A and B are shown apart, each in its own frame.
Chain A
Amino acid sequence: MPHSPHWIVPSLNLLASLLLLISFAMLSRRRTQRLITLFAWQGAILFTSTCLVAYSSGHKELYYSAALTLMLKVIALPWILHRLIRRLGAQWDSELLVNIPTTMLVGLVLVIFAFGLAQPISLMATTITRNTIGIALAVIFLAFLMMITRRKAITQVIGFLAMENGLFFAATSATYGMPMVIELGIALDLLVGFFILGIFFFQIREQFDSLDLRHLEALKEE
């Protein structure tokens, strides 16, 4: 490793714990706008930690993916999401399928499970961020939990994006990021997918006058 000042690893660990904390905060929030702000914060943490990893490991291409994160996840997506919910008037996620304390408990179990699963990988990793692989996996699982327990279309999408954040964090902490071409491809897919979802919101609202996914439960096996 070229140069790795002693403060790098503790601060990376700190950032990783913040990421996990935000994931839990997302589980407990009911206002959609708060969720978007939290999502933007997650992006900001990812940006900072990627920069730190790039600096300490000397992998220059990580700066590019950090820049991509900043543009896409901290600025563009939250901005579009804010505009979308204002236009659609979908500020509240009125109904939860499971109440918040229960969700939190399930979340805790998931975190423990994630750490157990990541243990063998962490032992093998040579990156300075190896301790955070478990956290990355936990972020993925918590985002998944959020998608399951929420009913509004927008909330599910934020959960989906948060899951992508976890995946990105996993890639950086386990392997210092995927090759640049792949990162670009993933970012492109994410962006296109997001636009399609935007189109979808309007179609769903036009048909159902609401973004509540309860209306989307007609197709079942009788």
Chain B
Amino acid sequence: MEILIVLGLPLLGALLLALFGARRFAAELNAGMSFATLVAAAFLVLRVLRHGSLLALHEQFFVDSFNVFLVALTAFVGFTTALFSRPYMRIEEQRGRLSPQRLRLYHSMYQLFMAAMFLALLTNNMGLLWVAMEAATLSTVLLVSLYRTRASLEAAWKYFILCGVGIAQALFGTILLYFAAERVLGREGMTALLWTHLNAVKGQLEPRVLGLAFVFLLVGYGTKVGLAPLHNWLPDAHAEGPTPVSAVLSGLLLNVALYAVIRCKVLVEGSIGSYLPGRMLMTFGLLSAVVGAFFLWRQRDIKRLFAYSSIEHMGIITFAFGIGGPIANFAALLHMTVHSLTKSSIFFTAGHASQTAHTQQMDGIRGLAGISPTIGWGLMLGSLAILGMPPFGVFASEFLILTTAMREHPWTTPFLLVALGVAFAAIFRKVQPMVFGESDAPPLPHSPALVPVFIHLAMVLTLGIYMPFALAEWFRAAARLIG
């Protein structure tokens, strides 16, 4: 029941906003629907915590501690982003960059995108997972090109084609998976694509077919995670789309895509009984971390900078999942959480910062702390958090990942350290003059919604200092599930 509400509310929101999205109260309606979804997700979490994992609707939906935690995270960041987008989009509208009609498209698609992500997270059916991932791409393509500028059209086209091709590979992988499963589970009752059934018989699935399937699935969903060398769409889409969209793409969509990869990895690892899938994840992850970090140096656009930082962090998370085992998985889940909270809060401040300076070019953004202390300090603290400074939560998860890597795969440590060091130097050097320094730009016409920023950062800080027992237990259960 809760599952249907979590899925239904954003759909209802999309419908309502398609009708009223151009009105004055649309932004409030958007935030309200997101809040309702968050409440529903909270009930779902409570239920899973109390009764353990559950199956619903002829086993088509499945909730365990792994995905319910992502559902909660998605609902939460979805809500805070809706709060942030209210003043942000108003300013954009005032400056004539968006018309009410565009805002209607934006609001409606925002809700549809949330619905697609929830479907991807909650479904038990690997085919439906694919359909939902594709739907999530489709609903954001028009959001990336919302400003209809040349650059945004190019970014959206690239996003569409690259992710379209990627997702086609994932479909072939899904077909292969079905092909292997059908021989064990049969065609009747449609169980051959249900993850729970596949997981139960994964030892009997034909290893060679599953190995091949995993290559296609990893390349396909990996494109959406933004793993190098398939990451080309990511910086463009993040930089050219409206900032709330960058925040949810970076904070949520990448996580959901990685979730799909991990679900597949569990099956394949069980079938072929070797570490090969884990090794592949480690390689892709390490490569993305290093490539992302080095590209940070060359960025001039503030949103591109943090887009590359997302590539780096998704690489680190993928790498940790690749190591596997309870500790690395725990660290990866923690890093997923703190990265998505921190990165979305950075995009919130970066969005307001570029509105204040009327440019996304970092050379033009100066002296934020003087114009608006909340924006300036928000950006500074967010950057420190994402760079893994103690006592923020990112430090805890990165430390765990690094020590586990040192113990189990010592050869990877230098690469990780280089990636972290280069990223630190690059981001710190660029953020520092933006926050301090001189400027005479006037403050923003609407007071920026920076409450979400500080809530996110406070949560990241809390996770770094003290992890609540229930949450740690929850992560541990999820880490065990992934194996």
Contact = CB atoms under 8 A, between A and B. Distances in A.
Contact of B125 (A182, A186, A199): A182
A144 B158 contact: no
B208 interface: yes
A197 interface: yes
Contacts of A160: 161, 164-165, 168
A170 interface: yes
A21 to B, nearest CB: 22
Interface string B134-176: 1100100110010011110111111011001100100110111
Contact of B179 (A117, A125, A140, A181): A125
Given A120-B208, A160-B164, A199 B142 contact: yes
A186 B240 CA distance: 28
A200 B138 contact: no
B138 A178 contact: no
18 contacts: A160-B168, A164-B168, A175-B182, A179-B192, A179-B193, A181-B125, A181-B190, A185-B130, A186-B130, A186-B134, A189-B134, A203-B145, A204-B153, A213-B157, A215-B150, A216-B154, A219-B158, A221-B295
B209 interface: yes
B59 to A, nearest CB: 13
B142 A186 contact: no
Most buried by A among B155, B161, B300: B161
Which bucket holds chain B's interface residue count?
A: 35 or more
Contacts of A156: 161
A121 interface: yes
Contacts of A197: 160
A156 B165 CA distance: 11
B429 interface: no
B312 interface: no
A126 interface: yes
A219 B128 contact: no
B212 interface: yes
A86 B126 CA distance: 40
Nearest to A148: B165
Interface of B: 125, 127-128, 130-131, 134-135, 138, 141-142, 145, 148-151, 153-158, 160-161, 164-165, 168, 171-172, 174-176, 178-179, 182-183, 187, 190, 192-193, 206, 208-209, 212, 236, 240, 295, 298, 300
A189 to B, nearest CB: 4
Nearest to A176: B187
A160 to B, nearest CB: 6
Interface string A171-194: 100111011011001101100110
A167 interface: yes
Contact of A170 (B150, B151, B161, B175): B175
B157 A204 contact: yes
A102 interface: no
A202 to B, nearest CB: 11
B153 A203 contact: yes
Q: Nearest 7 A-B pairs (CB), nearest first?
A: A182-B127, A185-B131, A216-B154, A189-B134, A174-B179, A175-B179, A219-B236
A179 B190 contact: yes
